[in-house]
Every structure is written in structure tokens, then in C-alpha cells.
Amino acid sequence: MTGRDILMAWMGRQEGASQGNRGRCPEPAGGLRFAFYGRTSTIEHQDPETSKAWQLEVAWEVIAGHGHIVRVFFDAGQSRRGAWRDRPAAAELLAALRDPDRGFDAIIVGEYERAFAGDQLPRLLALFRRYGVQVWLPEAGGRLEPDSAKHQALIDMLGAQSLREVARARHRAMASMRVQTLEGRFLGGRAPYGYRLVESGAHPRLADARRGRMTYRLEVDPETAPVVRWLFAERLTGRSVDSLVRDLNERGVPCPAAHDAERNTHRIRRRWTVETVTVILQNPRYTGWQVWNRQGVDHDHTTPSDRRRRRVVKRNPADRWVVSRQRAHTPLVSERDFVAVQRLRTRRATGSGEVREYLFAGVLRCGICDRRMESHWIHSRPGYRCRHGHTGPRTDDRPAILYLREDHLITRIGRALHLPAAASPRTVADRIRANQAVAVCHADKVDIKGQLTAFTWDSENHTGSFSALENDPVW
């Protein structure tokens, strides 16, 4: 006997009854053959092996005396809201159902919330029943009876509770991040290009502080901060983003991915791009203030759980941003210069030196496909078009190309708002941007979505003023 055997015998336990042995898959010895399914949502903040062990522990207790677990399917780093076919282990289990020699008669989970969310289980029950596979739940005390009114109510309650847990955790996290932003605390993640992370003190939670955890703050990076300052300074002179990108690449300045190569092993291209420079120029944290909630992920709670959800990241309007009450780190650009850069619209020069300007660049969307309309110069005048992703047949409702001339668009807007000819078209365009409005364009009308206000022209004083509209106007 080994030393452990001697100790276990002294404790009065039978060999193989420990938690460590319960995680194994013994050979079937009568009764039902079970396939176990478990899941953990993260691998950074949870130990997958420990999570699998306790879920198996619960499962063994439920099926005790009824059978054995012969196969284990476990997903690590998968969200509960993801469909089963999108989880590797769950998809493997579904594929095994179709195999007559799959080797199991029933499915057991360690916890409902670990396996299902929302209406996932009701949608899967028909599939399980088709292949003659039972479902056992700890919350049901054993086998689930789909035709039982009691069990149907239990499934509905557990599904709603699973989604409620996600929503509650998200609400608490968002509220905490909002408070911490107001305090000026660094919320984690990578330091913006131009800064580096340094320790700022012990963690405010006493338990974390005792374990040696620290808080961090942003400090100016002497290697990359001059590049950020140069970008803002050059942009203020009127240079286009394209020219800044070409200049950086020609001088061999390391881009953010090349500067922090260890954290960007997934990036193949190590060159400056228009998107990279644009993101830097639009980041208000370079003014020294902590800013949070500039963008968010669209959490769709209405799509059925058996359909694939797309993770949609949306930019939030500026009035939803959260800004610290005091400056949190050393600024690389002044607030005045940062705002000036955001308002800047570069005039486009052609090879012949001709300057082209588009008043409504970036604020027009196609009413057919909802894509942003692109600026297009034709017949020596500005216009805007959408080719609908170069796909789709031409129909009466869906032309191959939606094209609007800028002068016609301005005229249509002016007539709808009763603007006189003396009112500057640039004033209307600037006001649309200032109100963060979007013009949704159709062949015969333009819908304004946002907080646009009506313009009134004073012909005697040659001045204009704006007043709030009760509803979004349709032009």
C-alpha cells in the first residue's frame, strides 16, 4: 500500500471515492452511460481544471446509483450566450449524437447556467429526443421530463435566471468602471501609444493589497510620446492623414504593433495605416483626462439562442462618455488643439493641384443598405454615392448606385428648413456634425436622425440662430 492508501484507509474512505477519482471516466458497470458537459467562461480569471472538477463532482452526485460518466465534454473560455454549435466541445457533443455507436445514453451537466442560457435548452430538447438521449439536471434532481409542466416551468425560470446573472454582472461592472473613471483610476488594458504603465500604489481592495496587487497609472513614454505630439501638430497645419502615414512609414518610425511586438504577435503588418493614425488623433485621453465608454458592445438579448450572434462594437455619442473629475495623467496635447483636430476636414488635392472639398463627408448613410456613403467627384463637382457593397441586382427599389449631388442635397435641405439663399451651406453641414446627426439618404428624400435643430435666418442683421425641432425632420 502506498502512503496515500494508508492515509485514506485511516480516514475510513473507500479507494476511488475521492474527488480526484470522480473526475475520471470509469468503464461502464451497468446503468445508464452518461456524457458530461461543462463550461467555464474565462481561462484568465478561472482555473478550468478546478471548475471542471467541481462540476463533475455535482454531476456524479446526481447520477449516483443510476449509471456512470463515460465521456467528458468541457468548454473553456466560452460564453454561455454562445450557441452550442459555436462552442468546440458542445459542437463535438452534438456531432456525437448522430453516431449510433456514440457510447452514451444521457447527458448530465454540473450546473444549468454552465451549459445553457435563455431558450437554449428548450431548442435543444427536440434534438436530444430525436436521437433518444435523456437530459439530466442537478436543479431537477435527476432526469428532465420535457412533458412535465413542472419541469417546463423550471426550464423557463433557469433560462431567465441565467441571462439575469449575465445582465446583473454587466451592470455592476459598468457601474464600477464609471465610478473609477470619475476618480481618475486607470481601468486596465494596454496603455495608449505614447504612454507606458507604472505602478501607482497598493490596490484599494485590502485583500488584493495583501496579495501584493498594485494599481497603475499612465506615464509619458519618452520614445513614442514625441510621435503623438508630432501627429497632432502636423494635423493642425492641415495635413491629411494619408500624408502623415506616408511620412511615418518612409522615415521608418515603428508603428504601435512594432513598438510593442510582444503583445501584437497576431499582427502581421508592421506598418502605419490610416486607421492607426485616425484612432490616435481621435483619442481624448491624450488630453490628460481619463475617458471611458467611448464605445460599447451591442448585447442582443432578443436573438434566439440557436442563432449566431455577431459581436457589434458601436461608438457611443460623446454625451455618453464618462470623464474623470480631475486630470489623471500628463497630457500630450491641449484640449483646445484636440478639439480643433476633431473639427478639421482636410481639403483634398488632386495631382494637378486642384483642391476638392466635401461638406457632408462622413455624415451621410445610404437608406437602402445603411452603409456610409462615399465622397465622389464627378463633372467638376462634389457628390456622394453608395454602390451597396458592389452586390445586389438593380431593381426599382434598389438601384445599382445611389448618387446625390452636393448642390442638390444642400438645396433640398435648405428648402425643408426654409433657409434663404444667403445662409451658408457650410453652416448647415457644421451644425449636422455638431449635433452628431446622420443624414439617411434615399433617391427622393433625406431622413435626419439625431439632435438636429432648425435654422432661422435674420436678413436684417445677417445672422442665423438654431432652435430645437420636436421631431426628426424628413426632407
Span 133-142, average pLDDT: 90
**Shared-domain flag, residues 14 and 161:** yes
**Shared-domain flag, residues 202 and 339:** yes
Whether residue 187 is contained in a domain is answered as no
Region of poorest pLDDT, from 61-65, 163-167, 231-235, 460-464: 460-464
pLDDT digits (tens, 9 = 90+) for 284-331: 999 999 998 887 765 554 444 555 555 566 777 777 888 999 999 999
**Shared-domain flag, residues 146 and 32:** yes
8 A C-beta contact, residue 81 and residue 118: yes
User: In this predicted structure, what is the pLDDT of residue 351?
Assistant: 58
Residue 77: domain span? 3-167
User: Rounded to an integer, what distance in angstroms lies between the CA atom of residue 349 and that of residue 356?
Assistant: 6
Domain with residue 152: its CATH number is 3.40.50.1390
Whether residue 435 is contained in a domain is answered as yes
pLDDT-derived band at 353, boundaries 50, 70, 90: low
Whether residue 299 is contained in a domain is answered as no
With a pLDDT cut of 90, the percent of the chain lying above it is 21
**Shared-domain flag, residues 201 and 230:** yes
**Shared-domain flag, residues 438 and 366:** yes
User: In this predicted structure, what is the pLDDT of residue 468?
Assistant: 47
Whether residue 235 is contained in a domain is answered as yes
User: In this predicted structure, what is the pLDDT of residue 313?
Assistant: 64
The set of residues, in sequence order, having a beta carbon less than 8 Å from that of 295 and lying 6+ positions away, is 313, 314, 315, 316
Total domain count, the chain = 3
**Shared-domain flag, residues 154 and 252:** no
For the entire predicted model, the pTM comes to: 0.57
> 445 vs 65, 367, 368, 424, CA distance in Å?
71, 9, 12, 21
Give the sign of the dihedral formed by CA 199, CA 200, CA 201, CA 203: negative
**Shared-domain flag, residues 461 and 393:** yes
With a pLDDT cut of 70, the percent of the chain lying above it is 77
8 A C-beta contact, residue 376 and residue 384: yes
User: In this predicted structure, what is the pLDDT of residue 354?
Assistant: 63
The pLDDT of residue 122 is above 70: yes
**Shared-domain flag, residues 84 and 216:** no
Dmax (CA) for the chain in angstroms is 106
**Shared-domain flag, residues 62 and 124:** yes
**Shared-domain flag, residues 57 and 107:** yes
Considering the chain, what is the average pLDDT of its residues?
79
Whether residue 75 is contained in a domain is answered as yes
pLDDT digits (tens, 9 = 90+) for 61-98: 999 889 999 999 999 988 888 889 889 999 999 999 98
The pLDDT of residue 227 is above 90: yes
Tell which residue, 377, 372, 397, has the closest CA to residue 387. 372
The cell numbers describing 392, all together, are 445586389
The cell numbers describing 9, all together, are 484507509
8 conformational bin, left if phi > 0, alpha if psi -120 to 50, beta if neither: alpha
Whether residue 277 is contained in a domain is answered as yes
**Shared-domain flag, residues 331 and 209:** yes
Span 40-54, average pLDDT: 85
Span 181-200, average pLDDT: 88
Whether residue 88 is contained in a domain is answered as yes
**Shared-domain flag, residues 102 and 219:** no
